[in-house]
A and B are shown apart, each in its own frame.
Chain A
């Protein structure tokens, strides 16, 4: 069954801790993306990767880091430097101009 998986679905952390969100795809897509979603603001691009071992900052990369060591995987780390990390995080992968989204991870930091 082809698709994108994100784990966990819900994540709770204390302020000051780094946390890593998982994203895996078996669609054989070269490109992968991380978005943040806040109520009333649509989706905003955090990081993207067009190919293994390469990634670029999106519009709101501050306080986040990524790696792309394998084609299938694009983990996102939310660092303690991110001032407002509580949000819904969506991972996507792309073939051509279309993007396909995972189910998302809701991160709550208290």
Chain B
């Protein structure tokens, strides 16, 4: 069955440090890939997406992600984390087949130390 794995439940980084959040998917073909961010008690905001083409995609808030087909991964990166980046991050894939069903990972909660 198709699935999305985010191996890290919690990550803590210092402000100004670099960040990489991991995401692996299990899917027969190349799916559409997304990263969303959720602040506490809020809805989800789309950070970036990959459909095809250049495997390095840029998103909002200084985030980027790289699609690696050979590793079935779509890791999210940011070169310098700000305290306001503390939130929960979800990786998701779209499962094709009649409607755009999003399959979500369990999320990674990011804490930022000053």
Residues of A within 8 A of B (CB): 4, 6, 31, 33, 40-45, 48, 50, 56, 58, 90, 92, 94, 96-104, 106
Contact = CB atoms under 8 A, between A and B. Distances in A.
* Chain A interface helix/strand/loop/mixed: strand
Interface in B84-114: 90, 94, 99-102, 104-107
Given A40-B9, A42-B107, A43-B90, A96 B100 contact: yes
Contact of A104 (B42, B46, B94, B102): B42
A6 to B, nearest CB: 8
Interface residues of B, number: 23
Top 3 A-B pairs, shortest CB-CB distance: A42-B104, A101-B43, A101-B44
B41 A42 contact: no
Interface of B: 4, 9, 32, 34, 36, 41-46, 49, 51, 90, 94, 99-102, 104-107
Contacts of A102: 43
Contacts of A44: 104
